[in-house]
Amino acid sequence: MRAHELVYGVFFNPAATFRYVGEEKPLRQVFAIWLAALGFGAVVSFSLFRGNVVSGLPPDWSVLADRVANFSLVYGVGYVVVSLLIWFVSAAVYSLASEVLYQRGNGRGLLAALALANLPSTLGPAFRLLGRVFVWESLVILLALGICLWTVGLQVVALREALKVSTSQAIMLWAFPMVITGLLLVIMIVLLGVAAGGF
């Protein structure tokens, strides 16, 4: 598949697309697509952040406005870097969890599939910008919720197709890191409570 076919497939035929990506592992293509999508999101986030801050400054604070613009650029670059880091970490965690739970491993295929599964999330900043321009705040909230649910659904399909597991197994795998994190937080809170009660 070519890059535009992969993008089209994510939106209109995700199961077959993730199955192909899991088998062929076109990491270079997928990385280019994901980087382009993140770049788009970063530009829009940069504009939103700069607009929010600069609009709150007095007109005669032009020097500070320039500094805010520079910081906004750092914010946009940080958006890309953090998103890439989350992508790598989440793929590593899911790959390890799939090995532990189902003895299934496909690290490169899973990395590629998860990048494509997260493509809808890069539309969030664009919808926020539209909401500001057309004053559609309530609609933007609904769209953001829809994108979040859509992304979760795509992630589950990506796990299922890349690792060749059932839908229920993919759902359990998707929830596994959050359940473990939640349990660790509960244990830490209990231990802190016990320690505080001992003083």
Write out the residue range of the structural domain in which residue 176 sits: 3-198
Asked if pLDDT for residue 83 goes beyond 70, the answer is yes
Q: How many domains does the chain have?
A: 1
* Cβ–Cβ under 8 Å, residues 116 and 30: yes
Position 144 scores a pLDDT of 81
Query: Contacts from 140-147 at CB under 8 Å and sequence distance 24+?
Result: 147/120, 147/121, 147/123
Asked if pLDDT for residue 107 goes beyond 70, the answer is yes
154: tokens are: 């795509």
pTM: 0.81
CA dist 17 and 6 (Å) reads 7
